């Protein structure tokens, strides 16, 4: 018998150790008694130490046999198999797979039916099948042309039919054009026969808004439509709000708020176009008032600044070509009779839309206190009959002009000036007429001014005086920082002491305002207490050198100095605040600038330094800036004191009084008056 390497021979008994399996083992025939005896003999020869079988003829195969047995009794995961238990796995048969195929076919068919029915039959058409909105600017300038863009998109896969788009414009919107054009006379309806599936469409509407500043306009739009496979109608709506942020024009109207019956009174309409202006042609109209008669314009057509305008009829001014320069329109009016204590003149500014239509963009009401008096009193302060701002420390120059407009002469005329304010220094009163001052009133009669004994018909005279506003001091937030002034007259007797005292109070003053024998009232609001200080230093306040080079300066050498600016403000908020100085030709900018607020810049073309602050709220009490300058004296400067700065200027607009505030400093020289250590004679060596 031939023995291969996978077999063991022991007394004609063959044992397969490497390629045997459980199936093969179970198929083998039962051993004979003789074979069993031989096997028992072999077992007895096993190693007693570990109980393992050892082939006496081939002990080197021990490990190989053990490894083969392990492979026989292990599963795929390396675990020992229980050969006493046999698990039989059933295979899925034909019925199972047939049922699974039927279920899969039903699910696929259902999904396909839903997909086809929704996207191809209905196309997803419901209230969301059309996307609709309006786009346009949120802010515009009056008269500026812009577009409303209406966008509608068919989100479905079917055609939408019988669509109708309607737009409701704001009252201040002027329609100009559209694409596509509307066939509606009011240019606000578009009939759309069909909207293709998955299509994006737009309608552009061109127009402008004309109205007052901050006026808003809301455009409303809606679209109705019917999908081709629906009988129901759907609707969508959209809206957009646009505000007019600017009218593009500066407009101011000068007039006196009191009117004497039968007298001509002047009105001046001033205007100029801003940088962004779209209204150059407009008209001004006055609302009808039977008690007010409008006169022809006054002055010459050649007057500087007079606007180009025509007067189609009294009370209408047609302006052509407004520009950025200051322009004005003058006119006069007469109040015919005193039918009420007050009258109004309402002026409307309108932009032409077409030949017959105008759109209003600005309106001003002139409130007049009507007086019926034989003696006409006119109060003028600092050359103006209008309210205006004044600074602390300013001198108010008063003029009271009286004119007898009655039919007879007036005897024993008493004229009283009422100055309501706690901020006047009456110790500075300068009155050539030597009127009697009592409290806040000054009274003149024939004893002080002989001309008041008899004022003939149409006779006119003037009373002049002046008084100073107090200097700025500790501020009281509860005080009214203003001076309210008017004049009052009586005939035949002077006002008694009680009357003179009571006019000091606001209540009595209000009663006096109702009388016919008073002048116009002027209110002078006191501007904020802006202060500007300036110093040129070689040494800082901490005695540290901040300049370089020789001091005093020397010919042929360069010296640098530090300039310090400080502003203080308490009373009102300021706008457009700037501080500037124009350097002498021989002084140069040396940079090293710094500011606690705003920016310090050098303007090369103007050879000027500008500190641009802009808005200064009252919460900011003080601000500082500094920069460096340099100077190189020549032989011509030797033995001279050089001017380093000719004086700086501060300017701002008072947010409360709407008046311009201007402050300035004195010239700064090489003496360095503001430098305690560096100051001296400042003579160039």
Across 4-18, 167-181, 321-335, 471-485, least confident range: 4-18
Do 511 and 382 lie in a common domain?
yes
Q: Nearest-CA neighbor of 223 among 209, 205, 202, 199?
A: 202
At residue 90 the predicted structure's pLDDT band, cuts being 50, 70 and 90, is low
Do 510 and 394 lie in a common domain?
yes
What is the rounded distance in angstroms from the CA atom of residue 589 to the CA atom of residue 630? 7
Per-residue model confidence as pLDDT tens digits over 97-136: 677 777 777 777 666 654 445 444 444 445 567 899 999 9
CATH code, 240: 2.60.40.10
Cα angle value 404/400/263 (rounded, 5°) = 45
Do 448 and 481 lie in a common domain?
yes
CATH code, 647: 2.60.40.1170
Do 481 and 603 lie in a common domain?
no
Do 147 and 196 lie in a common domain?
yes
Per-residue model confidence as pLDDT tens digits over 434-459: 999 998 999 999 999 999 999 998 89
Q: Which residues contact 645 (CB under 8 A, 6 or more apart)?
A: 534, 536, 563, 581, 583, 584, 587, 629, 665, 667, 668
Q: 684 lies in a domain?
A: no
Q: 663 lies in a domain?
A: yes
Do 61 and 170 lie in a common domain?
no
Q: 685 lies in a domain?
A: no
Positive/negative CA dihedral, 169, 173, 175, 181: negative
**Could you say which DSSP state residue 594 is in?**
E
Q: 569 lies in a domain?
A: yes
Do 138 and 232 lie in a common domain?
yes
Do 182 and 234 lie in a common domain?
yes
Number of structural domains in the chain = 6
Q: Residue 120: its pLDDT value, please?
A: 46
Q: 397 lies in a domain?
A: yes
Q: Nearest-CA neighbor of 335 among 435, 239, 255?
A: 255
At residue 685 the predicted structure's pLDDT band, cuts being 50, 70 and 90, is confident
Q: Does residue 531 contact residue 393 with C-beta atoms inside 8 Å? A: no
Do 290 and 420 lie in a common domain?
no
Do 137 and 190 lie in a common domain?
yes
> Where a domain ends, among 193, 219, 246?
246
Do 237 and 292 lie in a common domain?
no
673 or 57: which leads in pLDDT: 673
Do 608 and 499 lie in a common domain?
no
Q: 555 lies in a domain?
A: yes
40 or 259: which leads in pLDDT: 259
Domain of 99 in residue numbering reads as 90-117
> Where a domain ends, among 311, 345, 371?
371
3 state SS of 70:
helix
Q: 98 lies in a domain?
A: yes
Per-residue model confidence as pLDDT tens digits over 499-515: 444 443 334 434 444 45
pLDDT over threshold 70, residue 414: yes
pLDDT over threshold 80, residue 59: no
Per-residue model confidence as pLDDT tens digits over 564-581: 999 999 889 999 999 999
Q: 159 lies in a domain?
A: yes
Q: Nearest-CA neighbor of 669 among 502, 551, 589, 505?
A: 551
DSSP for 431-460, please give it: -TT-PEEETTEEEE-TTT-GGGSEE-TT-E
> pTM of the prediction?
0.60
What is the rounded distance in angstroms from the CA atom of residue 678 to the CA atom of residue 669? 12
| Summary mean pLDDT of the chain | 82
Residue 313's alpha-carbon distances to 278, 283, 297, 409, in angstroms, are: 26, 12, 12, 39
């Amino acid at each position: 018998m031939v023995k291969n390497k996978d077999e063991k021979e022991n007394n004609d008994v063959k044992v397969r150790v490497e390629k045997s399996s459980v199936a093969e083992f179970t198929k083998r025939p039962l051993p004979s008694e003789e074979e069993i005896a031989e096997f028992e003999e072999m077992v007895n020869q096993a190693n007693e130490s570990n109980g393992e079988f050892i082939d006496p003829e081939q002990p080197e195969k021990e490990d190989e046999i053990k490894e083969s047995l392990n492979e026989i009794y292990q599963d795929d995961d390396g675990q020992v198999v229980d050969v006493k238990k046999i698990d039989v796995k059933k295979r899925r048969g034909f019925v199972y797979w047939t049922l699974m195929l039927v279920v899969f076919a039903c699910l696929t068919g259902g999904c396909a039916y839903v997909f086809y029915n929704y996207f191809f039959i209905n196309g997803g058409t419901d209230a969301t099948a059309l996307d609709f909105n309006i786009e346009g600017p949120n802010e515009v300038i009056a008269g500026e042309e812009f577009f409303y863009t209406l966008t509608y998109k068919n989100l479905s896969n079917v055609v939408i039919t019988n669509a109708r788009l309607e737009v409701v414009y704001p009252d201040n919107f002027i329609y100009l054009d559209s694409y596509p054009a509307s066939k509606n006379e009011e240019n606000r309806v578009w009939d759309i026969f069909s909207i293709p599936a998955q299509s994006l469409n737009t309608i552009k509407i061109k127009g402008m808004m004309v109205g007052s500043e901050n006026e808003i306009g809301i455009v409303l739009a809606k679209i109705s439509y019917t999908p081709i496979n629906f009988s129901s109608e759907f609707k969508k709506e959209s809206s957009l709000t646009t505000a007019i942020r600017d009218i593009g024009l500066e407009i101011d109207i000068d007039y006196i708020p009191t009117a004497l019956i039968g007298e001509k009174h002047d009105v001046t309409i001033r205007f100029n176009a801003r940088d962004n202006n779209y209204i150059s042609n407009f008209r001004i109209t006055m609302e009808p008032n039977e008690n007010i008669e409008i006169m022809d314009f006054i002055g010459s057509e050649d007057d500087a600044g007079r606007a180009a305008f025509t007067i189609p009829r009294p009370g209408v001014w047609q302006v052509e070509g407004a520009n950025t320069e200051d322009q004005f329109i003058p006119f006069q009016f007469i109040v015919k009779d005193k039918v009420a204590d007050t009258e109004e003149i309402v002026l409307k500014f309108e932009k032409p839309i077409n030949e017959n239509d105008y759109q209003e963009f600005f309106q001003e009401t002139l409130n007049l206190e009507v007086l019926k008096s034989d003696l006409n009193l006119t109060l003028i302060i600092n050359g103006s009959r209008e309210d205006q701002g004044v600074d602390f420390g300013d001198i108010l120059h008063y003029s009271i002009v009286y004119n007898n407009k009655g039919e007879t002469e007036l005897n024993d005329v008493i004229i009283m000036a009422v100055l309501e304010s706690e901020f006047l220094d009456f110790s500075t009163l300068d009155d050539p007429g030597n009127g009697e001052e009592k409290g806040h009133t000054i009274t003149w009669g024939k004893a002080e001014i002989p001309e008041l004994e008899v004022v003939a018909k149409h006779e006119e005279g003037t009373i002049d005086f002046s008084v100073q506003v107090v200097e700025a001091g500790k501020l009281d937030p509860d005080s009214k920082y203003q001076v309210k002034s008017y004049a009052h007259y009586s005939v035949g007797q002077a006002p008694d002491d009680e009357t003179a005292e009571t006019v000091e109070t606001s209540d009595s003053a209000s009663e006096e305002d109702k009388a016919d024998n008073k002048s116009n009232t002027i209110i002078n609001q006191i501007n904020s207490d802006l202060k500007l200080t300036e110093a040129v230093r070689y040494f800082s306040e901490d005695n540290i050198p901040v300049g370089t080079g020789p001091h005093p300066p020397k010919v042929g050498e360069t010296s640098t100095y530090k300039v310090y600016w400080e502003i203080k403000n308490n009373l009102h908020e300021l706008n457009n605040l700037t501080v500037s100085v124009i350097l002498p030709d021989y002084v140069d900018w040396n940079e090293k600038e710094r500011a606690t607020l705003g920016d310090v810049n050098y303007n090369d073309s103007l050879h000027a330094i500008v500190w641009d602050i802009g808005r200064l709220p009252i919460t900011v009490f003080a601000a500082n800036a500094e920069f460096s300058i340099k100077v190189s004296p020549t032989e011509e400067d030797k033995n001279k004191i050089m001017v380093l700065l000719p004086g700086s200027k501060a300017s701002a607009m008072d947010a409360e009084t709407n008046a311009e505030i201007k402050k300035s400093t004195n010239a700064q020289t090489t003496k360095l008056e503001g430098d305690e250590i560096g100051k001296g004679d400042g003579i160039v060596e």
